[in-house]
Amino acid sequence: MTKRNVTAKFASQTKYYRIVSKQSGKAIDVRDAAMESGVLLEVNDKNNSDSQLWMIIPDQKSTCRFRNKATNKFFDVIEGGTKNGCWLHQWEEANASTQIWEIESTKTAGAYKIKSIAAEKYLDIVGISSIAGANLQLWENTDGDNQEWVLEVIEDFTPKEEKKSKRAVSKTKRATPKSKKAAPSKLENGTAKKASTKKVAAPIKAENSASKKAVEKPESKI
């Protein structure tokens, strides 16, 4: 299956997502919910903490950044690494390609890949681990479940009017009305039918009889 960039589907400054591993069902978290730059990213059991919530902020050319709600820091790769096995940590916003990502479709409905623009590699779990506390790294594409993620909307601050507008646009795109020729009404059909079957009235008998007598009457003799 050809992977498709679907970043625009999720990028929004009015939503927070929980990013959950398809393999383990655990969510991306900041270790110990620490606030400092340089703290490692890992997967943990789902909870209600803000350290598991991420805003997917739109960037240029259908790319995005992932910003943590609790710390206001971003997905980043340690020391700007681009090789297999480079770990991820959180870092303050920087003008660096290691903070820029794409979201791609997969053959699994509802699951997505997250690709580093700098490294052309994917968000992956170290050691294909399913335990809480497993670290995140970059790795080349493997099509493994440890590289697939489910993006769950947890908080949505999109104004109601904007939501209605988006729904209306979506319905318009889905609708494909077919133009049909209006059928004549039953009344029109009936009238036309009666008009076409109406017979011309025959001359009355009295007129026929008088005409016949006029022809047969002999001339009178003088």
- Quote the CA–CA distance of 114 and 122 in Å, as a whole number: 6
pTM reported for the whole predicted model: 0.74
The answer on pLDDT for 127 being more than 90 is yes
Q: How far is CA 38 from CA 44, 161, 199, 217, in A?
A: 18, 40, 99, 132
CB 163 within 8 A of CB 12: no
Closest CA to 137 of 28, 16, 20: 28
The pLDDT assigned to 161 comes to 78
Residue 84 · residue 123 · CB < 8 Å: no
Q: What angle do CA 83, 87, 90 make, to 5 degrees?
A: 125
**In whole numbers, what is the pLDDT of the chain averaged over residues?**
84
Q: Where is mean pLDDT largest: 127-131, 176-180, 203-207? A: 127-131
Secondary structure, 3-state, 156-204: ECCCHHHHHHHHHHHHHHHCCCCCCCCCCCHHHHHHHHHHHHCCCCCCC
Domain boundaries, the chain: 7-162, 186-212
CB 5 within 8 A of CB 102: yes
**Per-residue burial over 139-169, b = 16 or more CB atoms within 10 Å of its CB, e = otherwise:** beeeeebbbbbbbeebeeeeeeeeeeeeeee
Tell me the per-residue pLDDT of 105-124, one tens digit each, with 9 for 90 and over.
999 999 999 999 999 999 99
| The pLDDT value given to residue 131 | 98
Has domain 7-162 been given CATH number 2.60.40.10? no
Using the structure block, give the residue that is written with the tokens 């007598």.
213
Task: Report residue 149 as tokens.
Answer: 């993620």
Non-local (6+) Cβ contacts of 49 within 8 A are 29, 33, 70
